[in-house]
Amino acid sequence: MAEVGRVLFGREDVRRRVAELGRTITGDYVGREPVLVTVLKGGAMFLADLVRQIDLPLELSFMAISRYGDAEESLGRVQILLDVEIDLAGRDVVLVEDIVDTGLTSRYLLSALRARGTASVELCALLDKTARRIVPLAPRYAGFECPDAFVVGYGLDFRERYRNLPDILQVDDVDALRADPDALEPVSPAV
């Protein structure tokens, strides 16, 4: 039987890349106190690891959104369920996203944040699925170029499952997962 999924980026690759991103952001924001905003729930793991690699005073904040339509296909119509509680006027904001796919969600959130009179807003995405981009949008900081495939783990879910996997897995047989959401066997780490 063909495997349903396999490790795309192992936990050690992720750890190294997140540390690099943290160093880059540290260098870029020296002398400033950025606000790192992430979108629940997928961005939570990335944010938690990223901020521990940033050697600056910073603030954290969270947003939660719901998308209309199928949970696997964003249609870009976004409702804000939980909003940033910090006054963002004059602040340097980094929007931290698990993945940028079509770009519709990030575009919406970036403009919603900029509308608050921020000094700057940049996008930091762990995964950049450029092949699926609908709107022209390039993250200022991107962890990995992601192939045009469905991925889970390290915050990313399929029907709320697999967010807690330490590795990022590529799903090769999405139909098998639709038929049985537990079809993805935990695989041994590629460390």
Catalytic (active-site) positions: 101
Smallest distance from the beta carbon of 135 to Mg ion, in angstroms? 19
Contact predicate 116/90, CB 8 Å: no
- Closest to Mg ion by CB, 74 vs 92, is 74
| Length, in residues, of the chain | 191
Q: Which does 105 bind (CB under 5 to 8 A by kind): Mg ion, ligand IMP, none?
A: ligand IMP
The rounded distance, in Å, linking the Cα atoms of 161 and 159 is 6
Residues pairing with 66 in the sheet:
79
Smallest distance from the beta carbon of 180 to ligand IMP, in angstroms? 17
Taking CA atoms, 64 is separated from 37, 40, 130, 190, in Å, by 10, 5, 24, 32
Smallest distance from the beta carbon of 150 to Mg ion, in angstroms? 10
Residue nearest to Mg ion (CB): 157
Q: Scan residues 157-186 and list those touching Mg ion (CB under 5 A).
A: 157
Query: Rule CB under 5 A: which residues touch Mg ion?
Result: 157
